[in-house]
Amino acid sequence: MASLTYPVTVEPLSPEDGGAYLARAPDLPGCVSDGETPAEALAQIEAAIADWLSAAKALGRTPPQPSRPGVIAAA
């Protein structure tokens, strides 16, 4: 797994929400992903971050600077 540039939070989902884990990149609005395990959620959020940054670039927008590079927090 590549090192993360943006901070990420990973939290378990309730059984009513399907269980598994939700990963968010709070510095990038709307950038979320999920996975069956915390490791899978992290792998998926890395791809989501790359897609988010690519879309911002395509729209000519400058992405925000990471608030705390490489921080992974369990919520």
DSSP structure string for 12-51: EPPGGGTSSEEEE-TTSTT-EEEESSHHHHHHHHHHHHHH
pLDDT at position 71: 59
CA distance 68 to 38: 20
Give the residue from 1, 23, 27 showing the smallest Cα distance to 12.
23
What are the tens digits of pLDDT across the range 23-73?
Answer: 999 999 999 999 999 999 999 999 999 999 999 999 999 999 888 766 566
* Mean of per-residue pLDDT scores for the chain: 88
Average pLDDT over residues 11-29: 92
